[in-house]
Chain A
Amino acid sequence: MSERVFMKGCEAIAEAATRAGCRFFAGYPITPQNEIPEYFARRMPEVGGTFVQAESEVASVNMLYGAASTGIRAMSSSSSTGISLYSEGISYSASARLPIVYVNVQRGGPGIGAIQPSQQDYMQATKASGNGGFRMIVLAPSTVQECVDMVYESFDLAERDHNPVLILTDGVVGTMMEPVVLPPMKSDEEIQKLRDAFKYRAIIGHPLGEAAYCRPGSVGSGQEQVNIEADKLYKTWDKDVRVEEYLTEDAEIIIAAYGISARICRAVIKQLRAQGYKIGMIRPIRVSPFPYEAFSNIDFDRVKGILNVEMSIPAQMRWDVDYAVQGRCPIRECLRSGGQLLTNEQVMKAAQEMIKEVL
């Protein structure tokens, strides 16, 4: 059933979502993710789904909230400043425990920033995507294939937890073309079965006495109970940590990077290994829950330093790395931001400086 095709990141995201059974998409134009809504505009009518071009991000996130409340698989994408406008809606979906998939194809920031790629929404994505202290599982693909695989599984994660899920990618991965293997298309029967499982709480109308209510808030002690239940869920996410440890067994220097930055670092690590330097990488595949253990379990007798590489100034993921490392080795930074791309040369230079400093 799987097929291998050559696709752009954004279009692969949209096709993978369609194959996962997504039948509702609402969005608003913003670069660099326009290929996602454009793809859905063509694709949804073919499979009996709905595409709505909303009048704003504020409207599209709330259309999603309504659609997901009926039990349909619903997704939307935006970019950085557009995701800021989604914040209220994301918070509502977390409070109402609706399984929605959001995609952030990051661009430069803060503010309108730049239309070119960045990784400047890490804190917003992993710590506070809206008010109230809720959390989401956040998947961070570094290839088009990972975009496909992560989008496909994100709907299952969202429905397993009755909680929104965020795909955190960027304008590089979103706009580059690569060969990918697409997952099988879920049949109409499978999709209906998934939807029926949600029927008891779907906002579609019920016989008297069985009414369903979708509430993002509550009165009295009700809201605290919602928060306690959510916290219980978040505490089960140790099993959901996904991390790649690349050539770390004998490494004396470890690069910390995710998404597109990790991909650039991989190329540099290969070059440095060829020169005899023992360098490796810890790559969070999901940035929430963060793989703290991968960093705290480092053998600091062997590892002399960590190079934190991100397309964000100031650094953001570094706070999580710091939290796990607890000052047991020096941490240096190699950063770009504002839509400026990280280059192999820049990472190479930073790595060589670290080699000089600690080895």
Chain B
Amino acid sequence: MAEEKKVYSRTKGVLENTVSGFCPGCMHSTVHKIVGEAAEELGKLDKLVRVEGVGCCGLGQFYVSHDAIIAAHGRGCAVATGIKRSSPDSLVYTYQGDGDLAAIGLGETMSAANRGENFTVIFVNNGIYGMTGGQMAPTTLLGMKSTTSPAGRSAEEHGYPMHMCEILNQLTAPYYLERVSCDTPQNVIKARNAIKKAFQYQLDGKGFSMVEVVTSCPTNWGLSTIDSLDFLREKMFAEYPLGVYRDGGEKKK
């Protein structure tokens, strides 16, 4: 009988014997997993600090096993600034949705990025407000229906979807900006590697980095989990192309 070898175990970054609490088909739980894996691989779980936004990401506080502080809605990057400046040895990341980061928190996000604050932003973009029941977000696609744009988002009335990687790429200070997804095993691995890279840059003192994870929201998109993956690939990726927008480490090679 061949010797058995353990090739996978659940990250210690999330609590044992605990379910995430996210809806079926939601990718938040996957993102939590890979954040934990990235920190674990770097041996920094005991230094990991989560600054949690308000919205669906707020469920994470009952799921993660590491230090966490709940920021006021939109203020993740300000709270993270206070933490990282006061405790430089901590590995600090904010975990924010699109409403939190790109609407109410846009000022804090832009300013922290512009100062080149040395922490990592995990930005989960599913194009809608999930926790409050499916309202229009800054990232809602044109034509996409929400409870506050029942006829679909129109450019004339609501303006256009906001592209945070591209917007932050206009600033000089950010060190690393990448947009990833978690729709396939390959993309999950890419996303984990992006988060790990961002964490490593923070440990090296390189400054601000953001990993945007484009995800689905079957519940508020009103689609099955399978159909929402199709929508994600066809519509969301078209508006939000995956890829590296800036990598200060690559530039220097």
Contacts and interface: CB of A to CB of B under 8 A. Distances in A.
The answer to whether A binds B is yes
Interface in A170-227: 202-209, 211-217
A77 to B, nearest CB: 16
Nearest to B13: A208
B107 A64 contact: no
Nearest to B117: A52
A56 interface: yes
A213 B87 CA distance: 16
A72 interface: yes
Interface in B71-123: 71-72, 75, 78-83, 85-87, 89-91, 107-108, 110-111
Q: Give the one of B64, B79, B81 with max A CB within 10 A.
A: B79
Given A58-B75, A88-B72, A217-B70, A211 B83 contact: no
Interface string B211-241: 0000000000000000000000000000000
B46 A66 contact: no
B75 A211 contact: no
Contact of A24 (B61, B67, B82): B82
A240 interface: no
Which of the four size classes fits the interface of chain A?
A: 35 or more
A207 B85 CA distance: 21
B82 A63 contact: yes
A67 B75 contact: no
A24 B86 contact: yes
Contact of B83 (A58, A66, A217): A66
A211 B90 CA distance: 13
A63 B81 contact: yes
B90 A205 contact: yes
Nearest to B45: A208
A216 B70 CA distance: 7
B80 A205 contact: no
Contacts of A55: 107-108, 110-111
Given A59-B107, A72-B86, A72-B87, 9 more contacts: A67-B85, A69-B79, A203-B87, A204-B83, A205-B44, A205-B47, A205-B66, A205-B67, A205-B91
Interface of A: 23-24, 26, 50, 52, 54-56, 58-60, 62-70, 72, 74, 88-89, 92, 96, 202-209, 211-217
**The 4 A-B residue pairs with the shortest CB-CB distance in the complex, in nearest-first order:** A66-B82, A67-B82, A66-B79, A62-B78
